[in-house]
Homo-oligomer: A and B are copies of this chain.
Amino acid sequence: MNKQPIRLAVLGLGTVGTGVVRLLQANFAEIKRRTGRNIVITHVGTRRTRDDIDKHIKQSADLLQIVVADDVDIVVEVIGGTGVAKDVIIEAIKHGKHVVTANKALLAEHGNEIFALADAHQVKVAYEASVAGGIPIIKIVREALSANKIDWLAGIINGTGNFILTEMREKGRSFADVLAEAQALGYAESDPTFDVEGIDAAHKLTLLASIAFGIPLQFDKVYCEGITKITTQDVKYAEELGYRIKHLGFAVRRELDNGEQGIELRVHPTLIPADELLANVNGVKNAVLVDAHPVGQTMYYGAGAGAGATASAVMADVTDIVRMLNNIGENSNPNFVPHLAFLPQHLDNTRILSSDEIISGYYLRVQVKDDVGVLAKITHILSLLGIGIDAILQKPAHELGEVPIIIMVDPVLEGKMNEAIANIEALDSVVDKVVRIRLDELVE
C-alpha cells in the first residue's frame, strides 16, 4: 500500500498523552498489520518543550494552531477539563478534523453541542477512553449490544473510590487513611473531590446512560453521592450480612405506576451480594454490568485508569477511524455509529426521575439506647409505611450502652424511606442520625 500515513496531533502530554506516544512506539508494527497504514504523530501540544519526544514531532503550546495544521488528520485531546479542551475540540471539528478524546467532564457537560457540531461537519468525536479506561464499554454498548433493549446498567467507574473501599474492607483501614495513601500513590488527584464525591463517576454515568437508552446527555440530573461518609463499621456489618459496599453508578429504565417511562440516574455507595462478580472487582479496577434483553447480564472488567489502559482506548478509536478512512469512498458519512448510539433525531426525552422517585433497597444503621422495646417501635414504623424488612442484625452494646441495629429493607421509594427515617430518628431511644446506604441485589 502506498497510502500516506495518518497524522495525529496529541494535545496534552500528561500521563495519558505520554501513554499514547509510547503505545505507538511499542505497537506500531502490530497496528499496521491491523490497519494497513502507518500512523504517525506529527504534533504534540505541550506547555513546556520535552526532550524525550522524537525529534520529528513538532512541539508547541499553541493548541489552536496545531489543530488547524495541514499535517493533522486526527486530533487526540487528552488535556482534560472543560476550558481550553472545549475550544480546541470545537476548532478541530470546524476544520474537518476527527477528534479522539478521553474527556468525560467535557462530554458529560457539553457533549450534546459538541456531537451536533461533529455531525454537521461530518467528523467523528470518539470517546472510548472517557469511561472506564481500558474497558471498551462505549463500543460494547453502542455497537455490540445494539439489538438489545437495555434495562439497566451498574458500574464501578471510579478506580480511586474502588481502591479506597477495597482497602477499608480488606484491611479495616479508615477512609481518611486510605485516601491519603491513594493521593501519595498518584491514584487520586491532589484535590480528590471529583473522585470521592462521585462527580467523576457521575460524568461517566451520564455518557453510559445516553448510549444505553438513547437520551440526551443530562449530567445535571444525576443524583450523586460519594464515599466520604462510609465507615469501617458499616463495611464490616455489610460483610457480616453477606454484602460488600461498592461505589456504583446506576442507570435504570423504569415503568412508573402510572405507565409513564422514567429513568433513574444515580451514583452512590451500594451494598451488593458478596458473591456477585461485581463485588469481587477490587482495587483500582473498574467493571460495568449491563442487564439487557434478550442478551441477559453481561459484565466487562479491566483497568479504569492509568497510562496504558487509557492509551489503549484512545488508540482503539484512532484505529477505528483509520480503518474507516482506508475503506470508505466518496459521499460516505463517517458517523455510521451515532455519537450517542441512537440517531440524533431518535433521542427521546424520557423523564429523568427525581431522587424522591428512586426505588432501591436500603441498609440502615440505627444507633439506639440499649432498650428492649426500640426494635419493635422501629419495625412498626417500617410496617406502617409498607416497607418490607429483609434482615435485621443487632450488635452487642458497646460503651455508653448504645447498640447499633442494622436493618436491610426491600426496595422502596426514596420519599417513603425518608419519611420512615424521620419517624425513626424522632424516637426517644434513637441517639443519632440513621446511617443509610443503598442496597441492590443486582437481580436479572
Interface status of A349 (Cβ within 8 A of chain B): no
Contacts of A348 in B (CB 8 A): 33
Q: In angstroms, how far is the closest chain B Cβ from the Cβ of A239?
A: 15
Residues of B close to A316: CB separation below 8 A: 143-147
CB proximity to B under 8 Å, residues A320-347: 320, 323-324, 326-338, 341-343, 346
Are A328 and B336 in contact, CB atoms less than 8 angstroms apart? Answer: yes
A336 touches B326 (CB 8 A): yes
Q: How many copies does the complex hold?
A: 2
Interface string of A134-170 (1 = CB under 8 A from B): 1110011001111111000000000000000000000
Q: Quick one: closest B residue to A39, CB to CB?
A: B147
Interchain CB contact under 8 A, A136 and B147 = no
Residues of B within 8 A of A300 (CB): 298-301
Interface string of A165-189 (1 = CB under 8 A from B): 0000000000000000000000000
Contact status B33-A296, CB under 8 Å: no
Q: Cβ of A343: which chain B residues have Cβ within 8 Å of it?
A: 33-36
Is A318 on the interface with B (CB-CB < 8 A)?
yes
State in angstroms the CA–CA spacing of A129 and B313 once bound together: 24
Number of A interface residues at 8 Å Cβ cutoff, please give it. 75
**In the bound complex, what is the Cα–Cα distance between A143 and B323 (angstroms)?**
10
Q: How far apart are the CA atoms of A112 and B275 in the complex, in Å?
A: 42
Interface status of A307 (Cβ within 8 A of chain B): yes
Determine if A281 is an interface residue (Cβ-Cβ < 8 Å): yes
Among candidates B31, B36, B327, B338, residue contacting A147 with C-beta atoms closer than 8 Å: B31
Give every chain B residue within 8 A of A22 (Cβ-Cβ): 294
Which B residues touch A296, using CB under 8 A?
A: 134, 302-303, 306, 308-309
- Rounded to whole angstroms, the CA-CA distance of A295 and B33 in the bound complex is 19
Q: Are A146 and B34 in contact (CB under 8 A)?
A: yes
Report the minimum CB–CB distance from A279 to chain B (whole Å).
10
Whole-angstrom distance from the CB of A12 to the nearest CB of chain B? 18
A281 cross-chain contacts in B, Cβ below 8 A: 277
Which residue in chain B gives the minimum CB-CB distance to A137?
B144
Q: What separation, in Å, do the CA atoms of A33 and B215 have in the docked complex?
A: 11
- Contacting residues of chain A (247-290) with chain B, CB-CB under 8 angstroms: 275, 277, 280-281
* A430 part of interface (Cβ distance < 8 Å): no
Tell me how far the C-beta of A268 lies from the nearest C-beta in chain B, rounded to whole angstroms.
Answer: 24
In the complex, what distance in Å separates the CA atom of A343 from the CA atom of B326? 12
Q: Quick check: is A17 within 8 A (CB to CB) of the other chain?
A: no
Chain B residues positioned under 8 Å from A303 (CB to CB): 295-298
Give A209 Cβ to nearest chain B Cβ, in Å.
Answer: 15
Contact between chains at A36 and B143 (CB < 8 Å): no
A295 touches B312 (CB 8 A): yes
Assuming the contacts A34-B343, A277-B281, asked whether A301 and B298 have C-beta atoms less than 8 A apart, the reply is yes
> Among residues 8 to 33 in chain A, which have CB atoms less than 8 Å away from a CB atom of chain B?
19, 22-23, 26-27, 30-33
Which partner residue on chain B sits nearest A346 by CB separation?
Answer: B33
Beta-carbon contact of A301 and B330 below 8 Å: no
CB-contact partner of A148 in B275, B312, B336, B346, under 8 A: B312
By a CB distance below 8 angstroms, the chain B residues around A147 are: 23, 27, 31, 311-312, 314-316, 318-319
* A-B CB proximity, top 5 nearest: A294-B308, A136-B144, A147-B315, A298-B302, A329-B331
Given contacts A27-B147, A33-B342, A146-B320, 17 further A-B contacts (CB under 8 A): A26-B149, A27-B293, A27-B294, A30-B148, A31-B147, A139-B140, A140-B144, A146-B319, A147-B314, A275-B280, A277-B277, A296-B302, A297-B303, A298-B302, A299-B299, A328-B332, A328-B336
